[in-house]
Structure 1
Amino acid sequence: MVQIIETIDVDVPVNVAYNQWTQFENFPKFLDEVESITQTGDTHTHWKVKVGGIEREFDAEITEQHPDERVAWTSTGGETEHAGAVTFHKLTETSTRVTVQIDWEPEGLLEKLGSLVGAGSHAVKKDLKNFKEFIESRGAETGAWRGDVKA
């Protein structure tokens, strides 16, 4: 199992950063490897990703969600085994620290080699920079889901 932890500070209030992160169907706008996400229920999503030229599909379940604090998930079926969490920390009234932790099991030679050289960490860092640019350029979220999911 490989663990990736990356952090970025964004210049928007914590509720704006959190609200945007709950808009899973917009992830392809800032997550390079995500082709599409379909929200199939309040706590279920279906993902199509392309990593290193390899297309994969999987389902994920939100296992914990607390407004302006945390979103956690785990894969529930498909070709990718992983789990993770995103936490949101208010720094000031207009800035937020976003931390992503992902635990995943590399499959196949390409992913195993990539994990050895930190490709996953590099990809998450780039995606967080893309998120920062996306949310700061907009100044507002594209939507929000403020539901609470207890672990």
Structure 2
Amino acid sequence: MSASLVETVDIDAPVSVTWALWSDVTKWPSFLSHVRIVQPLDDRRFAWQLSLPGADKNFVAELTEVVPENRIAWRTTEGVQHAGVVTFHRLSDTSSRVTLQIEYDPKGFMEHLGALTNLDSTLANYDLGEFQKLAESSV
């Protein structure tokens, strides 16, 4: 069974700011609550260490598409199976919309429970809220 989530947040910061923050992988643990470490392996691949309720996960993801100030897409190549895309939309000179979409394969009871009870959506929504705070404080 595969699961997916889509979350969107409007941010009082221009696309240039939201893009700069999200495209810097070293910043991800500061707004993605379940991400402990993201370590670049080369210019397209990153080793992730996640801390999730009931399980720690390690995986390698590669960037499949990078369009500056527009979208970043990735998919895993080792470990847990998932793929995602984050898109950046200009609302005005001073505001933007960020949309996160993830497709994943829940493995194990806790992850199935998360997919069934929308915990994943809640977590993604929380993380986008943290990203919003970070972006708005960077302006």
TM-score scaled by structure 2?
0.97
Q: Which runs of 5+ in 2 are unaligned?
A: none
Instruction: Write the deviation string for residues 118-141 of structure 1: whole angstroms up to 9, x where unpaired.
Output: 1111100000000000111122xx
Alpha-carbon distance in 2 for matches of 1:31, 1:110 = 19
Tell me, what secondary structure is at the counterpart of 1:5?
A: strand
Distance 1:71 1:44 in 2: 13
Letter in 2 for 1:6: E
* CA shift for structure 1 position 53: 3.4
Deviation at 1:57, TM superposition (A): 0.4
Structure 2 distance, partners of 1:98, 1:114, is 23
Provide Cα deviations, 1:34-84, integer angstroms capped at 9, x if missing partner.
000001111110000011131110000000010010000000002x11000
Q: Which amino acid aligns with 1:111?
A: E
| Coordinate RMSD, CA, aligned | 0.8
Q: Deviations over 1:5-45 (max 9, x none)?
A: 00001111111111111111211111110000001111110
Aligned pair 1:102/2:99, yes or no? no
Paired position in structure 2 for 1:118 = 118
The 5 Å alignment of 1:1-151 reads 1-78=2-79, 80-139=80-139
Aligned counterparts of 1:74 and 1:119: Cα–Cα separation in 2: 21
Amino acid at match of 1:134: L
1:94-127 Cα shifts (integer Å, max 9, x gaps): 1000000000111101110111011111100000
8 Å CA contact 2:17, 2:138 repeated in 1:
no
Report the Cα distance in structure 2 between the residues aligned to 1:41 and 1:22, rounded to whole angstroms.
Answer: 15
Q: Which amino acid in structure 1 is aligned with residue 3 of structure 2?
A: V
For residue 93 of structure 2, what is the amino acid of its counterpart? E
Percent identity between matched residues is 38
Segments of 4+ moved more than 2 angstroms? none
Q: How many residues align?
A: 138
